[in-house]
Structure 1
């Protein structure tokens, strides 16, 4: 992050880079129906129950990791510059929105 632009996904990056002047901390979620559909497609899960179980397991792991190492609550808005529900705009428009947000905060990318 000190030498060039980069993207960190997870791993408490918002906490680690909280004082970095060019950090843009974003939390993205989606409606459970969209999450089930996406997880089912990516991991070729044959039932909604399996997809939901996977989502719950991963959310528990992510929140446990984050909460343990940061003493903060995973997904809490005060930890991020922007929180989004990608179900509202869809993935492609969410990506475009985030890019515009980052450009507004940092200047041209």
Structure 2
């Protein structure tokens, strides 16, 4: 948000001690961590490593990019709901929304 001149600070508006970058938002933000934990996906060190989580021989491999984008979108949506609308979503709610989107 700071790079886009939306926020005067580069610190996370919810957790002032962390620099708000993509790794913070999608991996270290508390809600993101709970979502990854509930999905039983080990959180990598950086977002670039997310694309390589699944074994190349896994049946999930062909659709993993779509699934990953959906997970990241729901984390982003929940983060924005909390930051801008003061709505604190539970990780289970975000996962239910992911499942509903997959069911389309």
Under a length normalisation based on structure 1, what TM-score does the superposition of the two structures give?
A: 0.35
Indicate the structure whose relative CO is greater, using CA pairs within 8 Å and at least 6 residues apart. 1
From the two aligned structures, give the one with the greater strand fraction: 1
Structure of larger gyration radius: 1
